[in-house]
Structure 1
């Protein structure tokens, strides 16, 4: 993810996000936020350095203060072109100078600072030396919902990414599977995602036959055979926002057991989706999907959470998992993806991205959830 986000956001949009983040920091008892290059910086400013190096780049958001982006001088011209640049102050530094002393001036000497998860240890340790009285908390722990609730423009981009992933599935199902390697089908998925507007492909899982029982199987050299169940899980970023969908197809006619397992997973996915509504707990979605699979006798073979959040990254909070009591809020986007994995035999997973509406949920993936037969 390099360069500025192509999404249609203005400097005012980024200014509002930075203000909201600073207020959220204050509400969480944080003296400031320190945001390194990565998805948080892109979401807050639209800026993604073309090369992430050992040179410190950091956005400092402190309640009651204007946002400041500390940036190496050689990268300052690019930072100044970011769509959110008019909403912040740039402070550049040259090689041979101490960027940590510069950054320390923007932080309270005894404050607790929220730090983006992907900040380099090198930078954090040097800041601790410059400000030994400070303490730090990961943003996922301190502000897990910072990016979770999408506005109308973000939801449009999420829907467009979902539609592009759907178009990819409609195309892939028309191509031959039998006699080809998993890696060949994965390459087709990547190509199709790009053809349908994605600028970044994050994953293309193709798990055929017994490999389908591994939820995160890396597509390999196994040749797909007639009679195989094939789990397809693919997605990436389109205009800066994520897609992620799973469908399980069958090469030729399935057995009665394969149909039964697929039907169970389809019913579980429907139950999970039906549980989506404002005020419900995240764990309610997991419980609803898991109950269907457990009642069918396959509970021990559903071995992962029911869902994860998605936005400017393809995996982020909130998580649909037992013990997560956080309430669903309109604008949240996350996957609903139950599965059954029979070791050494086959697996089935069906996944849609769902957004919470004012009175329930809306799917952002609309391809059929029925058993699809491929050649």
Structure 2
């Protein structure tokens, strides 16, 4: 029997439960029709994750009736999955046709002329900007940004299982990179090893290529390989993410060929201490701000506070290009008063960025349980030295 490689990530019941959770929010806010354009949000609701070349929108009525509006050629993906998707009808936009007019017609058909319409302003495609102007006077238009993100904050057991699978793959890729590391190697060659390992061990398409870099350049956020030789004693950063059904688990590791300077060792120890303190103390019911201060206080007391320029953790889950994070869904950061709950998944990444030295990380993808964080990757947080 031939395996169905187009099988959706979860059962039909899980997608229908997500749809109905959104319908409940719509009913509570008096929304008749919602227009979703975020790929992550439509994928979460339906399981359809094709990266369309052109605008794509999901139009859904409060009773669950829904239709796709997308480039006509992309409808081939909807047809292929029609027996699995709870929304399998679509309107194709011919190349050169005005997307906004087709979308406006779909909204009128689904919701009628006086529907209260909610549109994701925070994820609005350029083609929708032209659409919103003329219809604003005819319909009440409200902001749908954050509706689906609110549902995405807490991962189901099935979602967490995918993140664990991706965690095993990404941990293997980092170990393979370290094993291949040798003097005279270029950062590009190291990146090739890490990327090859991801694919050989089962990762799907990744939303962002790995960040692989060495030396003081690592202090430049998200700078990656450039063909530079890796020199003895300098900081080496390897940060890939593996993808299973587009659920991404990242991992950030630090290596060196030969002993690094003492300052770098101290920086790593502080970052690892902050990570360990978060594991020991952060629990559901704390605010994001309170949790962030657990990590940050360790770094500040050690005298490195000015070099911790990022939030301690960001949400992870289903992601599409250009990045693998869900910072707009949830994050552990100072000033954020959202409450942490069981089932939230994060990439915890205590990092110090020091010009002239580089970036020193201590990272672990994690799920928050009632007893605290649990790792999503089978990997030790160590400074790898060859």
TM-score over 0.5 (shorter chain): yes
What corresponds to 2:109 in structure 1?
Answer: 105
What corresponds to 1:354 in structure 2?
Answer: 366
The Cα of 1:110 is off from its aligned counterpart by 5.6
Q: What does 1:206-285 correspond to in 2, within 5 Å?
A: 206-285=212-291
Is 1:13 the equivalent of 2:23?
Answer: no
Contact 1:308 1:320 in 2 (8 A): yes
The Cα of 1:30 is off from its aligned counterpart by 3.8
Is 1:82 the equivalent of 2:81?
Answer: yes
Q: 1:358 to 1:6 in 2, by over 3 A?
A: farther
Is 1:299 the equivalent of 2:305?
Answer: yes
Q: 1:67 to 1:263 in 2, by over 3 A?
A: same
Moved more, 104-113 or 214-223: 104-113
The Cα of 1:161 is off from its aligned counterpart by 0.5
Contact 1:5 1:240 in 2 (8 A): no
Q: 1:61 to 1:224 in 2, by over 3 A?
A: same
TM-score, with structure 2 as normaliser: 0.86
Q: What does 1:4-153 correspond to in 2, within 5 Å?
A: 6-28=7-29, 30-36=31-37, 38-49=39-50, 51-54=52-55, 57-71=56-70, 74-82=73-81, 85-88=84-87, 90-93=89-92, 95=94, 98-99=101-102, 100-107=104-111, 109=114, 111-115=116-120, 117-132=122-137, 133-137=139-143, 139-140=145-146, 142-153=147-158
What corresponds to 1:340 in structure 2?
Answer: 352
The Cα of 1:42 is off from its aligned counterpart by 1.6
TM-score, with structure 1 as normaliser: 0.89
The Cα of 1:302 is off from its aligned counterpart by 0.6
* In structure 1, distance between residues paired with 2:121 and 2:374: 30
Q: 1:221 to 1:242 in 2, by over 3 A?
A: same
Q: 1:114 to 1:359 in 2, by over 3 A?
A: farther
Contact 1:28 1:143 in 2 (8 A): no
The Cα of 1:286 is off from its aligned counterpart by 1.6
Q: 1:86 to 1:305 in 2, by over 3 A?
A: closer
Aligned with 1:139: secondary structure?
Answer: coil
The Cα of 1:28 is off from its aligned counterpart by 4.7
Aligned with 2:52: secondary structure?
Answer: coil
* In structure 2, distance between residues paired with 1:94 and 1:300: 51
Aligned with 1:337: secondary structure?
Answer: strand
The Cα of 1:83 is off from its aligned counterpart by 6.5
Is 1:364 the equivalent of 2:376?
Answer: yes
Gaps of 5+ in 2: none
Aligned with 1:350: secondary structure?
Answer: strand
Is 1:195 the equivalent of 2:190?
Answer: no
Contact 1:45 1:85 in 2 (8 A): no
Contact 2:79 2:88 in 1 (8 A): no
* In structure 1, distance between residues paired with 2:83 and 2:290: 37
Q: CA RMSD for the aligned pairs?
A: 2.6
Aligned with 1:272: secondary structure?
Answer: helix
Moved more, 210-219 or 337-346: 210-219
Q: Deviations over 1:274-309 (max 9, x none)?
A: 333211112223211111111010100111111111
